[in-house]
């Protein structure tokens, strides 16, 4: 029977890759709902092409365009935050959670609370509410499938019970576009240079995070609740070719890894078809042609975001929310040319240094800490930007 799917963040990089796979296997999938923020035209086009039952824009101002573009198509249109939550709550066999940023938390949590199979790309949900999310999943009988290529690799490699004999989980990092740059050159990097990732085509925010290596820091934080491991059993290895996506070391000395060409459609396909496999039109890995795979330790001096993320993981959930919110403000300011690349980590550290509140008891607390940190980061921004 066709798997009925909902895509939150349908117009983004992960969303479009998901729908590319879905459109190639029309007999295996049907689309319940597609959600975006304000790209009404892009969403309408995707909804028509996939025969979605419902299309929703979070931004009410984008709703009139969506309604107009979908007139006569048979696709229902809706707009606003409540409509997004209603779409996330719709009956579906799988929900792809691929909104960017903390905005993804509420709809992702809604799908989890409904006990859905949730393919989780929105890493901010796990970073800011990892323990709340895994507890909600357990209570509702939801299952989380990691979409992020590194976590998906680990997910594929871990034993069925997730734990036995696991000594260490290793996430690989490409090193980003500035892997070989000096700190001085990085300090003057432009947004265009930062988003030009050597191996992956992704949204702007995550591309900048890949350049600072904050993305890898966030991924270590993400891995902790996902795999139930502490900071001491999670490590990072720089691997510029992005072919080995993740490794697990076992107590008998074995190391198992997942390999593939760097194309998000592989981990997305793994989630879409789970627990089976489906065809993905990705370039096949040719190790003989590649000839060499190289690895190196990350440089914490040039990439201070790694140290900050590790400290936040060890300090607990509230510190992780502060880290994430301050980083979102800093990255947005950098993309806007209001903050230098080298100052991104400084702004995050300045926010963490102001002290971390008590652990959040629920999603409302998560949003409160997030909002307070954004206000603080915006206050501190002009001083660092000067």
Ligand X SMILES: NC(=O)c1ccc[n+]([C@@H]2O[C@H](COP(=O)([O-])OP(=O)(O)OC[C@H]3O[C@@H](n4cnc5c(N)ncnc54)[C@H](OP(=O)(O)O)[C@@H]3O)[C@@H](O)[C@H]2O)c1
Establish if 263 lies at the interface with ligand X (CB under 6 A).
Answer: no
Question: If binding is defined by CB under 6 A, does position 98 make contact with ligand X?
Answer: yes
State the nearest-atom distance from the C-beta of 376 to ligand X, in Å: 22
What is the closest distance, in whole angstroms, from the C-beta atom of residue 201 to ligand X in the complex? 7
Contacts of 80 (CB under 8 A, 6+ apart): 58, 60, 63
Select from 5, 6, 14, 262 the one that contacts ligand X (CB under 6 A): 14
Report phi then psi at 161, rounded to 5: -80, 0
384 scored as a contact of ligand X (CB under 6 A): no
- Considering only residues 6, 9, 112, 309, which one is a binding residue for ligand X as defined by CB under 6 A? 9
Select from 103, 132, 213, 280 the one that contacts ligand X (CB under 6 A). Answer: 103
Q: Which is nearer to ligand X, 99 or 142 (CB)?
A: 99
Q: Which of 205, 198, 141, 143 is nearest to 173 (CA)?
A: 198
- Contacts to ligand X from residues 223-252, by CB under 6 A: none
Which residue number, 122 or 212, has a Cβ lying nearer to ligand X? 122
Nearer to ligand X, 55 or 98 (CB): 98
263 versus 365: smaller Cβ distance to ligand X? 263
Spatial contact of 322 and 369, defined as CB atoms under 8 Å apart: yes
Is the omega angle on the peptide bond into residue 306 within 30 degrees of 0, that is, cis? no
- Determine, following the binding rule CB under 6 A, whether residue 121 of this chain makes contact with ligand X: yes
User: Number of helices (H) and strands (E), helices first, in the chain?
Assistant: 17, 11
Residues 26-55 that bind ligand X (CB under 6 A): 35-39
Q: Is 100 in the site for ligand X (CB under 6 A)?
A: yes
Q: Least distance in Å: CB of 340 to ligand X? A: 23
Of 62, 61, 67, 116, nearest to 87 (Cα)?
Answer: 116
Q: Print burial letters for 59-73: b (CB count within 10 Å at least 16), e (below 16).
A: beebbebbbebbeee
Among 78, 87, 99, 112, binds ligand X (CB under 6 A): 99
Query: Smallest distance, Å, CB 364 to ligand X?
Result: 17
β-strands 166-173, 244-250 pairing: antiparallel
Q: In a 3-state reduction of DSSP, which class is residue 80?
A: coil
Contact 270, 279 (CB under 8 A): no
**Bond preceding residue 275 cis, omega within 30 of 0:** yes
* Binding residues for ligand X restricted to 315-334, rule: CB under 6 A: none
* Integer Cα distance of 143 and 119 in angstroms: 8
Least separation in angstroms between CB 11 and ligand X: 4
Residues paired with residue 144 on neighbouring β-strands, in sequence order: 118
Q: Does 10 bind ligand X (CB under 6 A)?
A: yes
CB 98 to ligand X: min, Å: 5
Residue found by looking up tokens 């107009």 in the block: 68
Q: Minimal distance in Å, beta carbon 35 to ligand X? A: 5
| Separation CA 343–CA 381 (nearest Å) | 9
Strands 29-36 and 54-57: parallel
Q: Is 206 in the site for ligand X (CB under 6 A)?
A: yes
User: Tokens 């799908």 appear where?
Assistant: 111
Chosen residue from 47, 264, 269, 312 binding ligand X by CB under 6 A? 264
Which residue number has the CB closest to ligand X?
Answer: 12
At closest approach, how far in Å is the CB of 59 from ligand X?
A: 7
Give the Cα separation of 47 and 76 in Å (integer): 9
> Phi and psi (nearest 5°) for 240?
-60, -25
Report helix, strand or coil for 282.
coil
Residue closer to ligand X by CB (options 345, 384) is: 345
Contacting residue, 80, 191, 198, 203, with ligand X by CB under 6 A: 203
- By CB under 6 A, is residue 200 in contact with ligand X? yes
Give every CB contact of residue 132 below 8 A, 6+ residues apart in sequence. Answer: 109, 360, 362, 363, 366
Of 110, 148, 222, 328, which one interacts with ligand X (CB under 6 A)? 148
CB of 58 to ligand X, least distance (A): 3
Does 214 help bind ligand X (rule: CB under 6 A)? no
Nearer to ligand X among residue 20 and residue 185 (C-beta)? 20
Beta-bridge partner residues of 336 = none
| List of residues contacting ligand X (CB under 6 A) | 9-15, 35-39, 58, 84, 98-100, 103, 121-124, 148, 200, 202-203, 206, 264
């Amino acid at each position: 029977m066709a798997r009925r799917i909902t895509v939150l963040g349908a117009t983004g990089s992960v969303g479009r890759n998901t729908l590319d796979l879905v459109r190639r296997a029309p007999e295996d999938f049907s689309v319940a709902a597609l959600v975006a923020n304000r790209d009404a035209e892009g969403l309408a086009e995707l909804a028509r092409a996939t025969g979605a039952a419902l299309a929703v824009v979070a931004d009410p101002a984008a709703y009139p365009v969506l309604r107009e573009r979908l007139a006569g198509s048979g696709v229902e249109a809706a707009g606003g935050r409540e409509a997004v939550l209603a779409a996330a709550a719709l009956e579906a066999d799988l929900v792809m959670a691929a909104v960017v940023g903390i905005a993804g938390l509420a709809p992702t949590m809604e799908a989890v609370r409904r006990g859905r199979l949730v393919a989780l790309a929105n890493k901010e949900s796990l970073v800011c509410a990892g323990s709340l999310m895994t507890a909600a999943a357990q209570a509702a009988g939801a299952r989380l499938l990691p979409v992020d290529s590194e976590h998906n690799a680990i997910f594929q490699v871990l034993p069925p019970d997730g734990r036995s004999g696991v000594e260490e989980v290793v996430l690989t990092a490409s090193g980003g576009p500035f892997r070989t740059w000096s700190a001085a050159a990085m300090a003057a990097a432009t947004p265009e240079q930062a988003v030009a990732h050597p191996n992956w085509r992704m949204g702007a925010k995550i591309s900048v995070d890949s350049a600072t290596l904050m993305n890898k820091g966030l991924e270590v934080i993400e891995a902790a609740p996902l795999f139930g491991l502490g900071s001491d059993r999670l490590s990072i290895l720089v691997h510029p070719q992005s072919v080995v996506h993740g490794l697990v070391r076992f107590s008998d000395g074995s190391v198992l890894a997942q390999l593939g060409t760097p194309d998000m459609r592989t981990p997305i396909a793994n989630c879409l078809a789970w627990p089976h496999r489906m065809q993905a039109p990705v370039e096949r890995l040719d190790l003989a042609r590649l000839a060499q795979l190289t690895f190196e330790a990350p440089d914490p001096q040039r990439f201070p975001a790694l140290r900050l993320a590790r400290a936040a993981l060890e300090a607990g959930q509230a510190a992780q929310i502060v880290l994430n919110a301050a980083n979102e403000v800093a990255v947005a300011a950098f993309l806007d040319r209001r903050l230098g690349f080298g100052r991104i980590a400084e702004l995050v550290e300045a926010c963490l240094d102001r002290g971390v509140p008590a652990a959040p008891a629920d999603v409302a607390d998560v949003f409160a800490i997030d909002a307070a940190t954004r206000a603080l980061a915006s206050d501190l921004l002009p001083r660092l930007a000067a």
